[in-house]
């Protein structure tokens, strides 16, 4: 019989032995400094949370074109690398482990956030519903420009450059953000990809850009340092796929061939709580560590790890308001409630001032 695990058992992820299976999920907090450079406030925030088995940083832009929100950090220039170095040092000093999330938002941007005021790029010129967060408040999304086939190698190269910079900055690995309606996800799902070249149409074609990015990043930094995040049925950012189970089974089969550090799966639809897919099909296709996410509490997470439906569980909001979440879960202590009004932007309030036990 296979051993039943609990959340406080160690697990090996790539080259890291994590002391527990409680992961801090990647969360955009819009508190980077000038030039989208991580600043001392961000160092404090991540260091406070270093007892997580693993921290996955907020999405960090791989290029100036990858930017979609104000004050989100980047990982494409040397000043940003210096900013991140202070973060990784602080987390490692406390015995923690930290992966950086590599992010290109694709169409979820606005000309005011783009170099030279260009329109954002996407697989197809399909405008998402809703509004972009800009430095001048919320503004309607614009119709993105369809990327030319010949532009895609440069985007793959941007992922590689960013992954190398993450290594320079001292991260234990990177997570390729292929979820939540950003560029790679826009290619994967047919609601946002209506291309008729090698990158659109069949499932095989729609997952080609992700495969190329994963292959190139693994080659550059080693597959044991690479995780991938997917969100098969999340409708956030105007996303839809006509056959999500088959699409993401194929994504998983493809990813399984790379010997990755982990697969991180947002199981469900953040927008309405739907949970229609059979995630066992995805879990069983992936031979490496499977990280589950989406509204898990301690009880459900414990059950998931015990029954083997997940190897690790990532927690988002509970880590915003509880820097010592691991200790609190271990001792059964009460959790601090989170203040949603301070999730995005601002200063230390609602960021680094939540109390420890």
Which residues contribute to the site for ligand 8OZ (CB under 6 A)?
A: 28, 59, 69, 179-180
CB of 235 to ligand 8OZ, least distance (A): 12
Residues 210, 189 contacting (CB under 8 angstroms): no
- Closer CB to ligand 8OZ, residue 180 or residue 193? 180
CB nearer ligand 8OZ, residue 59 or residue 73? 59
Task: Let me know if 182 is a catalytic residue.
Answer: yes
Q: Which of 69, 182, 279, 351 is catalytic?
A: 182
- Return d(Cα 294, Cα 268) in angstroms, integer: 7
Q: How far is the CB of 28 from ligand 8OZ (least distance, A)?
A: 4
Q: For residue 347, what are its two tokens?
A: 């200063």
Tokens of 190: 């047919």
* Crossing angle of helices 208-221 and 244-256, rounded to 10°: 20
Between 54 and 179, CB nearer to ligand 8OZ: 179
Tell me how far apart the alpha carbons of residues 1 and 329 are, in angstroms, rounded to a whole number.
27
Residues 103, 67: Cα–Cα separation, whole Å? 8
Looking at the Cβ atoms of 64 and 308, the one nearer to ligand 8OZ is 64
Cβ 37 to ligand 8OZ shortest distance, Å = 18
CA distance 93 to 124: 45
Question: Shortest approach of ligand 8OZ to residue 177 CB, angstroms?
Answer: 6
Q: Where are the alpha helices (DSSP H) in the chain?
A: 40-48, 78-93, 152-168, 183-188, 203-206, 208-221, 244-256, 279-285, 298-307, 317-321, 325-331
Residues forming the active site:
182
């Amino acid at each position: 019989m296979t051993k039943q695990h609990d959340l406080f058992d160690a697990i090996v992820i790539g080259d890291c032995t994590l002391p527990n299976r409680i992961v801090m999920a990647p969360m955009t907090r819009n508190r980077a400094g000038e030039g989208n450079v991580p600043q001392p406030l961000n160092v404090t925030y991540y260091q406070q949370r270093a007892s997580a088995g693993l921290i996955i940083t907020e999405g960090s832009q791989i290029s100036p074109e990858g930017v979609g929100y104000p004050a989100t950090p980047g990982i494409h220039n040397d000043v940003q690398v210096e900013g991140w170095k202070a973060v990784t040092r602080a987390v490692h000093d406390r015995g923690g482990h930290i992966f950086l999330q590599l992010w290109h938002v694709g169409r979820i941007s606005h000309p005011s956030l783009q170099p030279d005021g260009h329109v954002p790029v996407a697989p197809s010129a399909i405008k998402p519903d809703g509004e972009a967060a800009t430095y001048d408040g919320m503004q309607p999304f614009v119709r993105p420009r369809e990327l030319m086939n010949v532009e895609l190698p440069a985007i793959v190269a941007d992922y590689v450059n960013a992954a190398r910079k993450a290594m320079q900055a001292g991260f234990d690995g990177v997570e390729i953000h292929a979820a939540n309606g950003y560029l790679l996800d826009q290619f994967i799902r047919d609601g946002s990809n209506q291309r008729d070249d090698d990158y659109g149409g069949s499932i095989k074609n729609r997952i080609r850009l992700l495969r190329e990015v994963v292959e190139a990043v693994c080659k550059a930094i080693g597959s044991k340092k690479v995780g991938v995040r997917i969100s098969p049925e999340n409708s956030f950012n105007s996303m839809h796929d006509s056959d999500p189970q088959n699409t993401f089974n194929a994504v998983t089969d493809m990813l399984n061939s790379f010997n990755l550090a982990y697969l991180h799966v947002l199981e469900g639809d953040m927008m309405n709580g739907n949970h229609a897919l059979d995630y066992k099909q995805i879990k069983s296709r992936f031979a490496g560590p499977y990280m589950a996410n989406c509204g898990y509490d301690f009880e459900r997470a414990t059950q998931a790890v015990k029954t083997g439906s997940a190897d690790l569980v990532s927690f988002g909001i509970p880590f915003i308001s509880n820097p010592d979440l691991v200790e609190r879960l271990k001792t059964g202590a009460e959790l601090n409630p989170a203040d949603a009004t301070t999730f995005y932007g601002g200063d230390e309030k609602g960021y680094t001032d939540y109390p420890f036990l």
